[in-house]
Chain A
Amino acid sequence: MNLFIVNSSIGRKLVMSITGICLILFLTFHMSMNLVALISPKGYNLVCEFLGANWYALVATIFLALGFIIHMAYAFLLFLQNKKARGNNAYAVSAKPKEVEWASQNMLVLGIVVAAFLLLHLYNFWAKMQLVELMHQLGVNVCGDALSKSADGAYHIAATFQDPIYVILYLVGLGALWFHLTHGFWSALQTIGFNNQLWFNRWKCIGTIYATIIVFGFAIVAIAYFVKSVCC
Chain B
Amino acid sequence: MEKSINITLKVWRQKDAKAKGAFETYKLDGISTDTSFLEMLDILNEKLITERKEPIAFDHDCREGICGMCSLYINGHPHGPDEDVTTCQLHMRKFKDGETITVEPWRLAAFPVIKDLMVNRNAYDQIIQAGGYVSINTGGVPDANAIAIPKPIADEAMDAAACIGCGACAAACKNGSAMLFVSAKVSQLALLPQGKIEAAARAKAMVAKMDELGFGNCTNTRACEAECPKSISISHIARLNREFLCAKIKD
B108 touches A87 (CB 8 A): yes
| The residue from A81, A104, A192 contacting B222, defined by CB atoms under 8 A apart | A104
Expressed in whole angstroms, the Cα–Cα distance for A85 and B240 within the complex equals 20
A190 touches B226 (CB 8 A): no
| The residue from A1, A8, A191, A197 contacting B208, defined by CB atoms under 8 A apart | A8
Q: How far is the CB of B223 from chain A (nearest CB, A)?
A: 5
B214 within 8 A of A: yes
A196 touches B235 (CB 8 A): yes
B104 touches A195 (CB 8 A): no
**Count of A-B contacts with CB under 8 A?**
148
Q: Which of A84, A91, A99 has the largest number of chain B CB atoms within 10 A? A: A91
Contacts A93-B104, A99-B222 given; indicate if A9 touches B109 (C-beta within 8 A): no
B245 touches A197 (CB 8 A): no
Expressed in whole angstroms, the Cα–Cα distance for A107 and B220 within the complex equals 11
Contacts A9-B210, A104-B221, A187-B220 given; indicate if A85 touches B75 (C-beta within 8 A): no
B244 touches A10 (CB 8 A): yes
A86 touches B233 (CB 8 A): no
Q: How far is the CB of A132 from chain B (nearest CB, A)?
A: 39
Chain A residues lying within 8 Å of B248, measured Cβ to Cβ, are 1, 4, 8, 11
A85 touches B220 (CB 8 A): no
Expressed in whole angstroms, the Cα–Cα distance for A12 and B237 within the complex equals 15
A187 touches B219 (CB 8 A): yes
B109 touches A195 (CB 8 A): no
Chain B residues lying within 8 Å of A99, measured Cβ to Cβ, are 222-223, 225-226
Residue in A closest to B213 when the chains form the complex, CB atoms: A85
A78 touches B77 (CB 8 A): no
Residue in A closest to B14 when the chains form the complex, CB atoms: A89
Residue in B closest to A99 when the chains form the complex, CB atoms: B226
- Tally of B interface residues using CB under 8 Å: 52
Expressed in whole angstroms, the Cα–Cα distance for A7 and B221 within the complex equals 22
Q: How far is the CB of A194 from chain B (nearest CB, A)?
A: 7
Interface residues as binary, B101-137 with A (CB distance below 8 Å gives 1, 0 otherwise): 0101001111000000000000000000000000000
B16 within 8 A of A: no
Interface-lining segment among B38-46, B61-69, B170-178: B170-178
Q: How far is the CB of A123 from chain B (nearest CB, A)?
A: 30
Residue in A closest to B248 when the chains form the complex, CB atoms: A4
B54 within 8 A of A: no
Q: How far is the CB of A232 from chain B (nearest CB, A)?
A: 47
Expressed in whole angstroms, the Cα–Cα distance for A200 and B239 within the complex equals 13
* Residues 37-62 (chain A) with a chain B CB within 8 angstroms: none
Using CB atoms and an 8 Å cutoff, list the residues of chain B in contact with chain A: 10, 23, 73, 75-77, 81, 102, 104, 107-110, 172, 174-177, 179, 207-208, 210-211, 214-223, 225-227, 233-235, 237-246, 248-249, 251
Using CB atoms and an 8 Å cutoff, list the residues of chain A in contact with chain B: 1, 4, 7-14, 78, 81-82, 84-101, 104-105, 107, 183, 186-187, 190-197, 200
Starting from the known contacts A99-B223, A99-B226, 6 additional A-B residue pairs (CB-CB under 8 Å) come to A86-B109, A87-B176, A94-B76, A107-B219, A186-B220, A187-B219
14 contacts between A and B (CB under 8 A): A1-B248, A4-B248, A9-B177, A13-B241, A84-B216, A85-B110, A85-B177, A86-B109, A91-B76, A93-B102, A101-B221, A105-B221, A193-B240, A193-B242
